[in-house]
Amino acid sequence: MVDRLIATTPATGYRQLGVHGQPVVGAHRQLKAILTGNLSPDHAALLTQPQIDPQGGRIDWYSDRPGPSGRVADLPADMQAAARTRAET
């Protein structure tokens, strides 16, 4: 269940990808299932779901993961290092 808005970005500069005439954003559930099966639920939880504004002006990004979220670059240096180490494993 995707329920928490974590970011909004302008839609400019993005190119919508598709497979067989369908936008890839419609395959979010399948992509998460693949990540869960091949890596782990923690890896799959990093994949946020984009919701594209019908007028094309913005993209809202949603997550079903509880707890705070933010950019690694905004963390203190020691926490950035810990986050990058965890991501590398």
pLDDT tens track for 9-61: 888 877 777 777 777 777 888 899 999 999 999 888 888 888 888 887 888 98
Pairwise CA distance, residues 45 & 63, whole Å: 8
On whether the CB atoms of residues 9 and 57 are closer than 8 A, the answer is: no
- Beta-strand runs (E) in 35-86: 49-52, 58-63
Q: Which amino acid is at 44?
A: A
Radius of gyration of the chain measured on its C-alpha atoms: 15
Pairwise CA distance, residues 61 & 8, whole Å: 6
pLDDT of residue 35: 93
pLDDT of residue 39: 92
Q: Calculate mean pLDDT across residues 62-78.
A: 87
2 pLDDT band, cuts 50/70/90, is low
pTM above 0.75?
Answer: no
Q: Calculate mean pLDDT across residues 79-86.
A: 90
